[in-house]
Amino acid sequence: MEIPAVIRTYIDTFTPAALDAWITTFAPEGTYCDPSIPNPVPAHGLKEHFAGLFAGFPDVTFELVGIDAISERIWVWRWVFHGTNTGAFRGRPPTGRRVTMPGCEIIEIRGDHVYRAQGYDDRLTMMG
């Protein structure tokens, strides 16, 4: 199955420099969620939410492990996060430590937009 353009754009633009382009992949009613947040973040709140991650890890990269189709509308992006904690993150001061953490996102698309993204990562790695 061919990878939809919106999935490719979602993956390619999930960087500090392209955060605005990443947000445009979401439908107006789209949401993002992961186990570290109590409620899904609506599309209009994504910039503020991820600006904190990128401020804490300004050199972050996501190494592509795989992109897997579950159905025509559901895709899984498997990645490895690489970044150095040189900025404050979630109210904590920078540690200066390099983090390598595996994870994935289940991405549901509707039409040409992301309707829902559910992220999962190795929380124990981040907490360490």
Q: Is the pTM of this model over 0.75?
A: yes
Owner of token pair 């150095």: 84
The pLDDT tens digits of the residues spanning 61-115 come to 999 999 999 999 999 999 999 999 999 988 889 999 999 999 999 999 999 999 9
**Domain 5-127 is in which class?**
alpha beta
DSSP string covering 53-80, please?
A: HHHH-TT-EEEEEEEEESSSSEEEEEEE
Can you give the residue ranges of every domain in the chain? 5-127
